[in-house]
Amino acid sequence: MDDAEAVGTTVDLVLPCLDEAEALPWVLGRVPRGVRPIVVDNGSTDGSAELAAELGATVVHETRRGFGAACHAGLLAATAPYVAFCDCDASLDPAELPRLLAPLATGRAELVLGRRVPAGRGAWPAHARLANAELARRLRARTGAALHDLGPMRVASRERLLALGLGDRRSGYPLEMVLAAASAGMRLAEVPVGYHPRAGRSKVTGTLRGTRQAVRDMSAILAAPAPVLLLLAKSPAPGRVKTRLTASGPASVTPEQAAAVAQAALVDTMATLDQVPASRRVLVLDGLPGRWLRPGWEVVPQSGGGLDHRLASAFAAVAGPVPALLVGMDTPQLAARVLAEPLAPAARAGVDAWFGPATDGGFWAFGLARPDARLAARLLHGVPMSAPTTGAALRGRLAAEGLRVRDLPELTDVDTPATADAVASAAPSSRFAAAWREARAVREVREGQRVQEAREARDAQSALVR
């Protein structure tokens, strides 16, 4: 695939900007056809925003200062399938962007970075190059990816980037993106790009102070381990799962259909958790795994006892300094971003636990910043499960322990036909919704046949009477 073909896909190019009026005409003039430039003004005083608008760029204003704040504002403003990032100081040439898009278009990579190759004296100060080499070395050790540069020119799918829930808003944003992408299983690649002396004065790498701040920000990101994700589930066997969907009534389904719906919900949840940055993904399973098990998942058996003991044992199995968050298989409408954002390193500061309330009074997610077997037992043992007071009881335990809790959005568990209808409407393109629609269609056909048979029987009885 050639470069022109790669650019055929619509791309939004995010250009974080702070006083770059000198460079903007050249940068925007080099943007390839089919790419929309989004200039994110981060408080410029030299007329950069007005100039960018005059030159035809989409201009976004981000009042919170910081490179990451500007980049993320651009990501949120983007609407194209792919989003690219590039410095706005003329050190990188947007015309080289098609070369980064090619590995995405062919499926070879899901996040492509431009590996900078100095194209002139003074393009890359020695202190900045050394700092970059050290961070790249640590990045390779952490991820196993063969990367040599934290290149500021990069491109990836907009949806995948949003699902990473990036939280840093300073100089650590580029590194967090790479670490989070690797932890979410995204394939990484590098493409060489020219690196030129920038126009104007550098705010970061051109100064020792700026370089030190960038190294501190990035070191903090490197020091934060990716969380462990736990999924509590039952093997989707007929008669063992979603039994409330099979209760007698016009909306009921067969045990086999209920099992198919449960399997779809389980696979949807696993697929969502695959997109959340994590160091481990552990399926805590009651039963045996089947062909539905996704690659990369560890499987551990659930312990004995009631649900309160099984939940506590799940945390005990991963006790340690790495945050752990547990969800169930009953919320297939869950979006990766809902978990990734509160679990991002910058969002964890001052948080001891996470709590996801359910609309029925229970909870769909629960996490601990420092999992400990005894703490998990104190919090969960004896909490009445599957009751309208379950969530309130757990919140009371958390308060009694003095833990600082971050609440997650309220979600609906799939338990009854009515909640299945609601969840399928909330996630119409999910596997769960498709399985539930199929089960409902079969049920409606069966009900129609029953009504028709009853009508024919009444008609036959009436004919006999006559």
**213 or 411: which leads in pLDDT:** 411
Structural tokens at position 424: 């399928």
Question: Is the separation of the CB atoms in 72 and 161 below 8 Å?
Answer: no
DSSP 15-77: EEESS-TTTHHHHHHTPPTTEEEEEEESS-SSSHHHHHHHTT-EEEE--S-SHHHHHHHHHHH
At 226, phi and psi to the nearest 5? -70, 145
Written as one letter, the residue type at 140 is R
**Type and span of the H or E element at 144:** none
Q: Supply the DSSP symbol for 47.
A: S
pLDDT at res. 457:
65
Burial tier of 295 (Cβ tally within 10 Å: 0-12, 13-18, 19+): exposed
Residue 2 has pLDDT above 50, yes or no: no
SS3 content of the chain, % helix, strand, coil (to 5): 45, 15, 40
Chain segment 334-364, per-residue pLDDT in tens: 999 999 999 999 999 999 999 999 999 999 9
pLDDT at res. 5:
45
248 band by pLDDT with thresholds 50, 70 and 90: low
Tell me the C-alpha to C-alpha distance, in Å, between residue 288 and each of 236, 270, 292, 298, 435: 9, 16, 11, 13, 22
Min mean pLDDT across 169-173, 402-406, 432-436 is at 169-173
Chain segment 132-178, per-residue pLDDT in tens: 888 888 888 888 888 999 889 999 999 999 999 999 999 999 999 99
Longest dimension (CA), the chain: 106
Please state, in angstroms and rounded to a whole number, the distance separating the CA atoms of residues 105 and 112.
11
Q: Which CATH architecture has domain 228-432?
A: Alpha-Beta Complex (3.90)
Residue whose token pair is 């015309």: 95
pLDDT at res. 453:
58
Residue 88 has pLDDT above 60, yes or no: yes
Min mean pLDDT across 66-75, 144-153, 192-201, 457-466 is at 457-466
- The DSSP bridge partners found for residue 117 are 194
Residue 1 has pLDDT above 50, yes or no: no
pTM of this structure? 0.89
Please state, in angstroms and rounded to a whole number, the distance separating the CA atoms of residues 385 and 407.
19
Q: By three-state DSSP, how is residue 116 classified?
A: strand
What mean pLDDT comes out for the span 427-456? 79
Please state, in angstroms and rounded to a whole number, the distance separating the CA atoms of residues 49 and 37.
13
Rounded percentage of the chain residues whose pLDDT exceeds 90 = 77
CATH topology of domain 3-223: Spore Coat Polysaccharide Biosynthesis Protein SpsA; Chain A (3.90.550)
Please state, in angstroms and rounded to a whole number, the distance separating the CA atoms of residues 14 and 311.
43
What mean pLDDT comes out for the span 58-69? 96
Residue 451 has pLDDT above 90, yes or no: no
Q: What is the mean pLDDT of the chain?
A: 91
Residue 331 has pLDDT above 70, yes or no: yes
Question: Is the separation of the CB atoms in 238 and 259 below 8 Å?
Answer: yes
| Delimiting residues of CATH 3.90.550.10 domain(s) in the chain | 3-223, 228-432
**135 or 196: which leads in pLDDT:** 196
Within 13 Å, how many C-alpha atoms sit on residue 343's CB side?
Answer: 33
288 band by pLDDT with thresholds 50, 70 and 90: very high
pLDDT at res. 223:
84
pLDDT at res. 358:
98
pLDDT at res. 86:
98
What mean pLDDT comes out for the span 196-201? 77
Residue 287 has pLDDT above 70, yes or no: yes
Residue 103 has pLDDT above 80, yes or no: yes
